[in-house]
Amino acid sequence: MALDINAIRSRLNKLQNTQKKTEALWKPTPGKHQVRIVPYKFNKDNPFIELYFHYNINNKTYLSPISFGRPDPIVEFADKLKRMGDKEDWKAAKAMEPKLRTFVPIIVRGEEGDGVRFWGFGKTVYQEILGYIADPDYGDITDPNAGRDLTVEYVSAEDAGTSYPTTTLRVKPNPTPVSDDSAKAKAFIDEQTAITELYQELSYDELKNVLESWLDPTKSAQTTKTEKSVTEETLSNKSVSHDMGGSKVTEEPKKVSKSTSEVEAAFDDLFNS
């Protein structure tokens, strides 16, 4: 049997991307950190990169094509489910919809040797940063020459005595350059990695296959189970928590009253008609 070189290359690429993602992402640890948002090489007019993700589908996370204005079969199916008229269907459809996570390229002070990394956060932190920029007392804190650093204080849920961690932001009072070394400041922008190298978008058909196997895992397992509820087959009975950068959103199990055969019919009606 000949060695499948393409499969080897594909696996190597996935391993390299996983390593690259670990190195290129920054998550605050408990304590205070000083960071600086820098311009994004691939969109210098706006450093904020809004991406939408499907969480806990086949126990994985998938980047939604709607992040780039392209059709998403999971979103289409969720819309179809909403129109079926059942309250539980509507709740299940909401759980399937992608969630927003925003990323910005940053330099972590004291760790400049690690280069630019991406900091991802949820709606609360995003709104707070935008509020500072909209305030004329601060203005464009991302400007590489006259912007401002941010102090990020992260407190774990255990230390905060709450059910979720907290993130507090403070803008430094004095404007400063990204670096006193103009060559380093330029490199911080020129040598950035595109966010799409870290989070890769599946094709429409690939994502449709993911959806189909999630809705009916018995097909891939080749079992004889039938008439199981979607709740039993596709939606975990465990709560799912997403760390949304300062707040943790917990999704309780969603029930769907339709049987597997009814959901399959809706799937076929949407994609195979």
- Which residue ranges form the domains of the chain, and what is each CATH number? 23-271 (3.90.198.10)
End-to-end CA distance of the chain: 40
- pLDDT at position 86 is 81
Q: Which of 48-57, 120-129, 139-148, 220-229 has the lowest mean pLDDT?
A: 220-229
What are the pLDDT digits (tens) for 126-168? 999 999 999 999 999 999 999 999 999 999 999 988 888 999 9
Band of the pLDDT at 26, cuts 50, 70, 90?
very high
Rounded to 5 degrees, what angle do the CA atoms 36, 123, 253 make?
135
Angstrom distance (rounded) from CA 179 to CA 163: 38
Q: Which residues lie below 8 Å from residue 40, measured CB to CB, with a gap of 6+?
A: 46, 47, 49, 104, 105, 192
Evaluate if residue 221 carries a pLDDT over 60: no
Q: Is residue 33 a contact partner of residue 172, using CB atoms and an 8 Å limit? A: no
R_g of the chain computed on alpha carbons:
22
- pLDDT at position 252 is 44
Q: Is residue 20 a contact partner of residue 117, using CB atoms and an 8 Å limit? A: no
Dihedral angle computed from the Cα positions of residues 260, 264, 267 and 268, in that order, rounded to the nearest 10 degrees: -170
What are the pLDDT digits (tens) for 71-120? 999 999 999 988 887 888 888 899 899 999 999 999 999 999 999 999 99
Query: Is the C-alpha dihedral spanning 134, 139, 143, 147 positive or negative?
Result: negative
Evaluate if residue 234 carries a pLDDT over 50: no
Q: Which of 31-35, 214-218, 236-240 has the lowest mean pLDDT?
A: 236-240
- pLDDT at position 251 is 44
What are the pLDDT digits (tens) for 167-183? 999 999 999 999 999 99
Q: Which of 140, 147, 112 is closest to 33 using CA atoms?
A: 112
- Residue labelled with tokens 């290129």: 24
Q: Which of 6-10, 20-24, 64-68 has the lowest mean pLDDT?
A: 6-10
Evaluate if residue 242 carries a pLDDT over 50: no
pTM for the model = 0.74
Mean pLDDT of the chain: 82
Q: Is residue 207 a contact partner of residue 74, using CB atoms and an 8 Å limit? A: yes
